[in-house]
Amino acid sequence: VGILARPLLALLIRRALLITNPASRRAARLRGTAEQAFAKLGVELTVAETRYAGHAGEIAAARGGEYDAVFTLGGDGTAMEAATALSGSGVPIGVLPGGTGNLLARAVGTPLRIGRAVGALLDGEIRRIDLGRFRPGDTRFAIAAGVGIDASMVERTPVRLKRRFGVMAYVATASRAALSAVIRRDFFTLRLTVDGKVEERRAVAVMIANFGAVLNDRITFGPGIQVDDGVLDACVYSPANLREALGIMWRLLRKDFRSHRSSIYLSGRHIRVETDPPRTYQADGELLGTTPFEVEVEPLAATLLVPRR
Ligand SMILES: [Mg+2]
């Protein structure tokens, strides 16, 4: 593809900032490949390395505005720090798959090979998406926050497995976690408040989803979840027994979201999650703390570079 065939957007990205997290071994290994890809496409690149947690956000906030776009090469944590720092600024963020799970890069369909990812994003389009924001505080998430299946799978999925099999490792681990929660009778009482309405039930997992699908649409969290509709979607999984737990996975894989006593879906702008007993919760694959937690939607807060459909 010659320079004349490149679309308008690519021509607008002349100067880019690449924030890379050398603590991610994949990012460290792929940095040279990324730099070459930018150079080949005629983009003047400045590289900034993060030194500590929170540094990616500081770099993006201090310097992001000087560039046509900010790219991150690290895990989802690095990407979300930059997205949070640039939230509302209109500076587009290109998330390169430089971590182990790469949930965000996968969710927008970015190729996993770095050279191809750089090309696809420079050739891509701009998409504004909602973010979830924890209250109080500044922490945001792009994919999902939750308790149960997703928190357990982050704790239990070995790093080597995540790197090798990516999100499929999460799916396998998630199924196992859901089933084992039922086998161990590891339920909690969930009190979920969505825009003031309270729902209380025994559950094994609850997910607050922003993106409705990851894995190129092979697994979805719930019905009609849109990443730019100004609401978050709570998905509550409460199987009473092994058969119902298997049924949840089966319905997820088949994208069957008809109402069922073992899985309910509620959407709203403000969601509070309380559990008895208290449980750890995570967002975008990072363990964040112990319930209760409260999130609200920030409509169209992040501007992402995504591959063209
Ligand atoms: Mg939504």
pLDDT of 46-99, one tens digit each? 999 999 999 999 999 999 999 999 999 998 889 999 999 998 898 999 999 998
pLDDT of 114-140, one tens digit each? 999 999 999 999 999 999 999 999 899
Question: What spacing in Å lies between the alpha carbon of 182 and ligand 1's midpoint?
Answer: 29
Question: What spacing in Å lies between the alpha carbon of 233 and ligand 1's midpoint?
Answer: 6
pLDDT grade for 164, boundaries at 50, 70 and 90: very low
* Averaged confidence pLDDT in the chain: 84
- Provide the pLDDT for residue 205: 87
Per-residue burial over 106-120, b if 16 or more Cβ lie within 10 Å, else e, is bbbebbeebeebbbb
Question: What spacing in Å lies between the alpha carbon of 291 and ligand 1's midpoint?
Answer: 22
pLDDT of 165-197, one tens digit each? 444 445 555 566 677 788 888 899 999 999 999
- Provide the pLDDT for residue 220: 60
Question: What spacing in Å lies between the alpha carbon of 209 and ligand 1's midpoint?
Answer: 7
CA 275 – CA 269 distance, rounded (Å): 20
CA 87 – CA 139 distance, rounded (Å): 11
Question: What spacing in Å lies between the alpha carbon of 15 and ligand 1's midpoint?
Answer: 32
What's the mean pLDDT in 133-159? 75
pLDDT grade for 23, boundaries at 50, 70 and 90: very high
Q: E-strand spans in the chain?
A: 15-20, 44-49, 69-74, 93-97, 125-135, 140-141, 144-147, 188-194, 197-203, 205-209, 213-214, 219-220, 232-237, 263-268, 270-276, 280-283, 286-290, 293-306
